[in-house]
Amino acid sequence: MPVTPPHSDSSAPELSLSSLFWIFFRIACTSFGGFMAMISVVENVVVERKKLLTHQAMLDGISLASMLPGPVAVNVCTYVGYRLRGRLGALVAAVAAILPAFVLVVALSAAYFRWGQIPAVSKLFMGFIPAVTAVIVAAAWNMSRKSLVGLREEAIAIAAFAALLGIGGFYSTLGIILGAGVIGWLLFRTDHGSPSQPPPDKKPAIPGTQLNANALLLSTAPLVQIPWWSIDPAILMKLGAVFAGMSVMLFGGGYVFIPMIQEIVVTNQKWVTSQEFVDGIALGQITPGPILVSAAFIGLKVAGLAGATVATTAIFAPPAVLMVLASNAFERLQRASAIQAALRGVRPAVIGMIFAAAVVVGRTAAPVWYSIAIFAVALYALIRFRVDAVWIIPVAGAAGWWLY
């Protein structure tokens, strides 16, 4: 029996899986700057431009992903895919969100193990950071216009913003979400009707998104230099078991997870040296998408392309499965009035945390007037002209290369 996507609108043409794939593949190709940057681009494309989901539904997905193990951005992509096309949509969205970074990391890793160097891209990133900050601010602004509908919601958002900047860390994030849920239940449980309750999502037909993938294909040239398959299935099984086990213990984002990975793959398993591990993490940072795609670097060193594939699949698949299961349960639970009241508290808190993430990312920008100019132009283009975020970031990178 085919799976019916949750809250699907039977009167709207169904989004094809190929269109869903290309939407997330295109997003993933330009998602530099951490998990909140990728989430903000997803919001810009899926909610603002394509109008496939409401702001409230997107906020619910971010809240859910923040409380589950695994990379938050990929979990959010999985949630969106599930909302649009059920379990198969979740799989397609997750694969598309990871694939560009995986290909680039494998190609760069092959070059690294052959020549011992990482390409210099610092100037590009000096342009990326202000633009990524603008994308995050624009996403939070667009969400706030729809969800901060009263003084109570605004107060929750401001409190969450201040708490995250003042304390920080995963436990603060979890505490803010849970605390906001309790406050929402206390404040809104007697309200009749919720102005922030999401209506059914309308999914207009979208023609297959065209993407020029020449740059991605050219980047794979070093792949001819690496072994494609391991001859030892036991190594692949061990890689899969180790990375799958770590994945369900990941809370708080990829950077929190780095010390655990280092302890296991460097000290315990001795798969890579300390210097190789640091360089592998650097590769994950200079490529778009989640930093945990650095698992491909380790897998490649241990067992070639098959090892890279197994390690990457193992670190992303278990959290994605948990996200689908949690999304399914959430769809049923959110109809309860108590849950709706709690969500009215959680959504403003998430908006406040997104604004806080923009501050955190913005602090890493170069302290020169170029950074302010790139940020201002990008923010104006996003809010005033609704320019697609997937174009803003590469243009800003080119500007950074030229200006810095």
What is the pLDDT at residue 192?
A: 52
Which tops the pLDDT comparison, 209 or 241? 241
Task: Tell me the domain boundaries of the chain.
Answer: 17-115+122-196+224-403
pLDDT average, residue stretch 358-377 = 89
- Over residues 122-167, the pLDDT tens digits come to 676 688 888 888 988 998 898 898 889 899 999 999 999 999 898 8
What mean pLDDT is predicted for residues 26-41? 84
Kindly state the average pLDDT of the residues 310-329. 94
What pLDDT sits at residue 16? 93
Please determine, for residue 100, whether its predicted confidence score (pLDDT) is greater than 70. Answer: yes
201: pLDDT confidence band, cut at 50, 70 and 90?
very low
310 in Cβ contact with 239 (< 8 Å)? yes
User: For the whole model, what pTM was predicted?
Assistant: 0.76
Q: What is the pLDDT of residue 200?
A: 44
Per-residue confidence at 33, pLDDT binned at 50, 70, 90? low
* pLDDT at residue 86 greater than cutoff 60: yes
Residue 219 — pLDDT band, cuts 50, 70, 90? very low
Output the 3-class SS for the chain. CCCCCCCCCCCCCCCCHHHHHHHHHHHHHCCCCCHHHHHHHHHHHHHHHCCCCCHHHHHHHHHHHHHCCCCHHHHHHHHHHHHHHHHHHHHHHHHHHHHHHHHHHHHHHHHHHHHCCCCCCHHHHHHHHHHHHHHHHHHHHHHHHHHCCCHHHHHHHHHHHHHHHHCCCHHHHHHHHHHHHHHHHHHHCCCCCCCCCCCCCCCCCCCCCCCCCHHHHHCCHHHHHCCCCCCCHHHHHHHHHHHHHHHCCCCCCHHHHHHHHHHHHHHHCCCCCHHHHHHHHHHHHHCCCCHHHHHHHHHHHHHHHHHHHHHHHHHHHHHHHHHHHHHHHHHHHCCCHHHHHHHHHHHHHHHHHHHHHHHHHHCCCCCCHHHHHHHHHHHHHHHHCCCCHHHHHHHHHHHHHHHC
pLDDT of residue 203: 42
